[in-house]
Each structure stands twice: as structure tokens, then as C-alpha cells.
């Protein structure tokens, strides 16, 4: 249990957490929306520091991150709980668990141990993934600092609901921001995730790129009847192009019935291909179909000379034509991050 880094004390032993954009006001003895921060006698504590529910040495492509250290392994860590309650969550067993499961549902992995594990399993970096990283912010912050001291890259796989204060604190130590932009309307975010002010996700993502020079890739899981209309998909594609740049990868991934959306069908392939076309029409250079192994758009092809830069099949990666961040054949900038200013 660690005292929270980002909160304020209010009259009557109440507190206000500033870790994510919920900015929960919490009465004594009570928890925030995520269930992992508790007000104990006027002090806000994070309850899941170093409490790990899931750990694996994953291909970085599984996050998915396609333009960030391709072909490397990253040590992937998740805890319990979440600040969103998405109806289609793939990891609902861990995201819906509350703090009463932290002892029996988790093992302890302190920041230094995660560095040691990364080395042991030949990982080039560490990602906090499987559930939202900001809900164990103190742990990820300490770990990210240590990772950078040890020459490892660092990744948040996030719903993008961190506050500017949280982002600015971890910004110097975080290399990649793999963010979900789940939809593009108030109604969709309210229905799917229960989020009132979703535009904050866009603002914080722009800040991650502009202020902290993070490598950004965007994922949209396309759910039949909920966010598969042209208006939302065009809105997301145009926003990426205008605010993050045409070289930002957009992953349009296939939904599989899960959790509280088991009554919907899997996303038809035609819908994924329509989304791919919408992305290309908006001017995005790299749009990838996800959860469709063997799809022609899995590989990276240079938009300038048409040659194959990185061949992928599922999580198998073969680097064919990269020279740093550029195309080896024609020199076009492809926005690949293989080293950077935060490299330790
Ligand atoms: S991290 Fe948890 S307690 Fe803090 S504002 Fe977000 S949901 Fe609320």
C-alpha cells in the first residue's frame, strides 16, 4: 500500500484523486471508481502497488505496436481493476476484480524484479497492459524510471484517461502511448464505457505526442452496430491525421463477442476492410487490420516506393527493409521508433 502521488486533501477528511480524469472525490473509508485507491482517514492510498495479476514476455506486436521496436519482446504486466467498465472488455476477469482479490489473485513483483525478469526473458522493454496502467500509477512510475535507468523501453497500453498531471509526471520516462480511441460520440462512450467526457482522451493523447515525444499508435476495436458507422470511423481517422499526423499507425481490430456484449456477432471482415479504406481515404499512411491473421494489411509497405518494409503474420515479424525510421529502399520517413531520446 502506497500513499497516492496525485491527490488533494479536502475538508472533513475527504480527498480528491487526480490520477485519472474521473478526479474522484472520496469520503473516508471509501474507494474511487477504479476500486484501487482508498481514502483512509484523510490520506489517499493506492492499494495495488506491485500486485501483478498477469505477466508475460509478449511480442511487441501483440500490444499492438507495429512501428515500435518491431520484432522485440516486451515484459508485459497487468494488475486488477480498471477505471473504465467497458461492456466488451477482453480482460474482464481482471478488470472487474476489486481490491479484496489483490492478495489471492496477484503475485508481488516489485519494480526491480520486473527489470530482472525483463533481462532474464530477453525483453527489450516493459509494458503496462491488460488493464489500465494509471490505476497503479505509483507502481508504473517507479518502474518506468528504473527501466529507463536500465536501458529498457517503456510502454503504456492505455484507455487515455490519465490527467495531464499524471502524464507530465511519467512523461520523461515513457516511450510509447498505445491508446484506444474506442469511438467518436458522447453516446457511444457513455453506453460502452460509462465515460462522460471522452474528448479528454484525445487531448491527453495529443499531449503525449507533442509535449513528451512519445511514439503513439491508435487502436479502434470495431463493434457491430455500436461504432461501425462511417461517421465515427471517419471522425477517428480525420482526428488522427489532423492531430497526430499521417504517419501515425491506426489499428482497426475485429471484435469478438465478450463479457456483456456476447449477443453481438463478430465484426464482419467487410466492415474491417471498410474501416481500412476510410483510414486510407483520410490520408493515413499506415492502417492495419487487427485480429485477422494473414490479412494483406498486416505488413508494412512503403507508401512512397511500394516495397515491403516489415512482413508480419500474426505475431511473426520479419524486417525486410528498414533503415532506422526510414524505408531502406527509397529513404521515405515511416515513423518507426527503434531508438530515441529516452533510450537509456
Ligand atoms: S485513479 Fe481511480 S480513484 Fe483516482 S480518479 Fe481515477 S478512478 Fe478515481
Residue 125 Cβ contacting ligand 1 at under 6 Å: no
Per-residue pLDDT tens for 62-105? Answer: 999 999 999 999 999 999 999 998 888 888 887 888 888 887 78
Residue 20 Cβ contacting ligand 1 at under 6 Å: yes
- Is pLDDT at 227 greater than 60 in this prediction? yes
Per-residue pLDDT tens for 282-310? Answer: 999 999 999 998 898 999 999 999 999 99
- Is pLDDT at 182 greater than 90 in this prediction? yes
- Supply the mean pLDDT for the chain: 95
Task: Give the Å distance between the CA of 83 and the centre of ligand 1.
Answer: 6
For a ligand 1 pocket test, name from 36, 156, 165, 200 the mutation site with the most ligand atoms within 8 angstroms of its C-beta: 36
Residue 166 Cβ contacting ligand 1 at under 6 Å: no
Strand partners, 295: none
User: What pLDDT score was predicted for residue 132?
Assistant: 96
Which residues contact residue 274 at a Cβ distance below 8 angstroms, ignoring those fewer than 6 apart? Answer: 230, 233
Q: What is the mean pLDDT of residues 266-294?
A: 96
Strand partners, 78: 54
The residue whose C-alpha atom lies closest to atom 5 belonging to ligand 1 is 23
The residue whose C-alpha atom lies closest to atom 3 belonging to ligand 1 is 32
Residue 99 Cβ contacting ligand 1 at under 6 Å: no
Handedness of CA 216, 222, 226, 230 (dihedral sign): positive
Strand partners, 317: 312
- In degrees and rounded to multiples of 5, residue 123 shows phi and psi of -90, 140
Residue 19 Cβ contacting ligand 1 at under 6 Å: yes
Q: What is the mean pLDDT of residues 170-197?
A: 95
Kindly report the pTM of this predicted structure: 0.96
Tell me the percentage of the chain whose pLDDT exceeds 90: 86
- 344 pLDDT band, cuts 50/70/90, is very low
Weakest-pLDDT range from 79-93, 163-177, 266-280: 79-93
- Is pLDDT at 341 greater than 90 in this prediction? no
- Is pLDDT at 342 greater than 70 in this prediction? no
Per-residue pLDDT tens for 123-165? Answer: 999 999 999 999 999 999 999 999 999 999 999 999 999 999 9
- 340 pLDDT band, cuts 50/70/90, is low
Distances (CA, A) of 296 to 98, 204, 219, 273, 309: 41, 32, 18, 10, 13
User: What pLDDT score was predicted for residue 100?
Assistant: 83
Q: Where in the chain are the domains?
A: 2-46, 51-327
Alpha-carbon distance of 186 to 199, in angstroms, equals 9
Residue 145 Cβ contacting ligand 1 at under 6 Å: no
Weakest-pLDDT range from 45-49, 87-91, 109-113, 148-152: 87-91
User: What pLDDT score was predicted for residue 199?
Assistant: 96
Q: What is the mean pLDDT of residues 311-326?
A: 94
Which residues contact residue 184 at a Cβ distance below 8 angstroms, ignoring those fewer than 6 apart? Answer: 227, 231, 232, 233, 235, 236, 239
Q: What is the mean pLDDT of residues 322-339?
A: 95
Alpha-carbon distance of 131 to 94, in angstroms, equals 7
- Is pLDDT at 243 greater than 90 in this prediction? yes
Q: What is the mean pLDDT of residues 167-186?
A: 97
Specify the ligand 1 atom closest to the Cα of 161: 6
Packing angle between helix 269-282 and helix 230-239, nearest 10 degrees? 40
**CATH annotation of 51-327:** 3.20.20.70
Specify the ligand 1 atom closest to the Cα of 4: 4
- Is pLDDT at 24 greater than 70 in this prediction? yes
Amino acid at each position: 500500500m502506497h500513499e497516492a502521488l496525485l491527490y488533494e486533501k479536502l475538508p472533513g477528511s475527504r480527498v480528491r484523486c487526480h490520477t485519472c480524469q474521473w478526479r474522484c472525490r472520496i469520503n473516508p473509508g471509501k474507494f474511487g471508481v477504479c476500486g484501487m485507491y482508498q481514502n483512509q482517514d484523510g490520506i489517499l492510498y493506492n492499494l495495488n502497488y506491485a500486485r501483478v495479476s498477469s505477466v508475460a514476455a509478449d511480442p511487441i506486436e501483440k500490444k499492438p505496436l507495429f512501428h515500435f521496436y518491431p520484432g522485440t519482446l516486451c515484459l508485459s504486466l497487468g494488475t486488477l481493476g480498471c477505471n473504465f467498465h467497458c461492456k466488451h472488455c477482453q480482460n474482464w476477469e481482471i478488470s472487474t476484480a476489486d481490491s479484496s482479490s489483490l492478495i489471492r489473485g496477484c503475485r508481488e513483483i516489485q519494480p526491480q524484479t520486473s527489470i530482472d525478469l525483463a533481462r532474464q526473458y530477453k525483453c527489450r522493454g516493459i509494458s503496462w497492459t491488460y488493464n489500465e496502467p494509471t490505476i497503479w500509477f505509483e507502481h508504473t512510475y517507479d518502474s518506468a524510471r528504473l527501466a529507463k535507468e536500465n536501458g529498457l523501453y517503456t510502454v503504456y497500453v492505455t484507455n487515455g484517461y490519465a490527467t495531464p498531471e499524471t502524464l507530465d509526471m511519467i512523461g520523461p520516462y515513457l516511450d510509447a502511448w498505445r491508446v484506444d480511441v474506442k469511438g467518436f460520440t458522447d453516446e457511444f462512450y457513455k453506453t460502452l464505457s460509462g465515460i462522460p467526457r471522452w474528448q479528454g482522451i484525445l487531448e491527453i493523447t495529443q499531449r503525449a505526442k507533442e509535449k513528451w515525444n512519445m511514439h503513439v499508435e491508435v487502436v479502434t476495436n470495431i463493434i457491430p452496430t455500436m461504432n461501425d458507422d462511417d461517421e465515427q470511423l471517419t471522425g477517428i481517422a480525420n482526428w488522427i491525421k489532423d492531430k497526430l499526423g499521417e504517419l501515425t499507425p491506426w489499428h482497426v481490430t475485429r471484435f469478438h463477442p465478450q463479457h456483456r456484449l456476447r449477443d453481438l456477432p463478430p465484426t464482419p471482415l467487410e466492415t474491417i476492410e471498410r474501416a481500412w479504406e476510410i483510414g486510407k481515404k483520410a490520408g493515413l499512411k499506415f492502417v492495419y487490420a487487427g485480429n485477422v491473421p494473414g490479412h494483406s494489411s498486416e505488413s508494412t509497405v512503403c507508401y512512397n516506393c511500394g516495397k515491403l518494409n516489415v512482413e508480419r503474420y500474426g505475431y511473426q515479424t520479419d524486417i525486410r527493409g528498414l533503415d532506422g525510421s526510414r524505408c531502406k529502399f527509397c529513404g521515405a520517413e515511416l515513423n518507426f521508433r527503434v531508438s530515441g531520446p529516452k533510450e537509456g
